[in-house]
Amino acid sequence: MAWAALAAVVLYGTIADRPVMRPPLMLGGYRVLAGDFHVHPLPFSASTLAPWDLALEATRQGLDVIAMTPHNTVVMGRAAGWVGGAMVIPGEEVHGPHFHLIALGTRETISWRLSAGEAIDAAHRQGGVAIAAHPTRSAWPAYDEATRRKLDGSEVRQPIVFSWPYTAAELEAFYALAPTAAIGSSDHHGVGPLGLCRTYVFVREASVAGVLEAIRAHRTVVVDGARAFGDADLVGFAGELPGAPERPSRWGVVVGLAAMAWLVWGKE
């Protein structure tokens, strides 16, 4: 019975979990891309998926573009896109003791020993953009006013807001301190769906250069239920954005785990 239950939920999940295919979306004269710019691949981050798997899974989750951001290296960001899937932008999460920073569109590793301002400058010298990763209150001392104004974007929504409610207010407060692009990211480490929090980027062209240009120009929108963050001229389109796919039902997960537990421990 346990084997039958496990086979049933695997079959159900396979049939139900279909790629989200949408026609190109045009709003306000721009092409709108759904993006997740904080994604961790194997093996240089605690994760469960290789870069090429992440690119394919991103398409299944209705994403047009993702950024590979392993901790303190850009190596795996170059290893995706070989088998198709979403557009991939290389980068890294500069993972230091006092702040975390997404360097997007970079090709060389940025030292985590730098200050936040120096790390941002290093990303800009490579033609990339710099995004404050989950800037909760503990990270604020690393970003003085001059440093905040160097940022291209700031994560205003991220899965930590679902675990600790006070973090939502902290991310919003940081975002309000300086003009940056509003960014929603999943900080995907293999648990939870890609694009749970996502960024809608209003691009002039659907390319890596086009995405980076739009972030620098702050042409982004992040939607969280009835609330929207981003460019004042673009948040009015929030109601026309497709939204993230619905999460799969929990019963399949529960049945599958119960079946696996019975197979492992049921006869002991």
Is the pLDDT reported for residue 211 higher than 80? Answer: yes
Instruction: Report the sign of the C-alpha dihedral through residues 84, 100, 121, 178, in that order.
Output: positive
**Nearest residue to 198 via CA among 167, 238, 163, 243:** 243
Question: In the structure, what pLDDT confidence band is assigned to residue 163 with cuts at 50, 70 and 90?
Answer: confident
How far is the C-alpha of 8 from the C-alpha of 118, rounded, in Å? 53
Q: What confidence score (pLDDT) does residue 122 get?
A: 98
pLDDT in tens, 81-130: 556 789 999 999 999 999 999 999 999 999 999 999 999 999 999 999 99
- pTM of the full predicted structure? 0.83
Is 260 a residue whose pLDDT tops 70? Answer: no
pLDDT attached to residue 78: 56
pLDDT 10s digits, 196-208:
999 999 999 999 9
Q: Average per-residue pLDDT in the chain?
A: 87
Three-class secondary structure of residue 78 per DSSP? helix
How many Cβ atoms sit within 10 Å of the Cβ of residue 89?
27
Distance CA 230, CA 77 (A): 27
Least confident of 118-122, 144-148, 254-258: 254-258
Q: How confident is the model at residue 26 (pLDDT cuts 50, 70, 90)?
A: very high
* Annotated domain spans of the chain: 1-17+251-268, 27-247
Look at residue 37 and tell me whether its pLDDT is greater than 70.
yes
Instruction: Give the pLDDT confidence score for residue 259 in this predicted structure.
Output: 58
Helix or strand holding residue 224 (H, E): strand 220-224
The pLDDT assigned to 107 comes to 92
Residue 243 pLDDT class (50, 70, 90 cuts): confident
Which residue would you say has higher pLDDT here, 229 or 84? 229
Instruction: Tell me: pLDDT of 80 over 60.
Output: no
27-247 maps to which CATH number? Answer: 3.20.20.140
β-strand partners of 202: 32
- pLDDT surpassing 80 at residue 33: yes
Nearest CA to 49 out of 248, 166, 194 is that of 194
225 vs 248, residue with greater confidence? 225
Residue 189 has what pLDDT?
Answer: 87
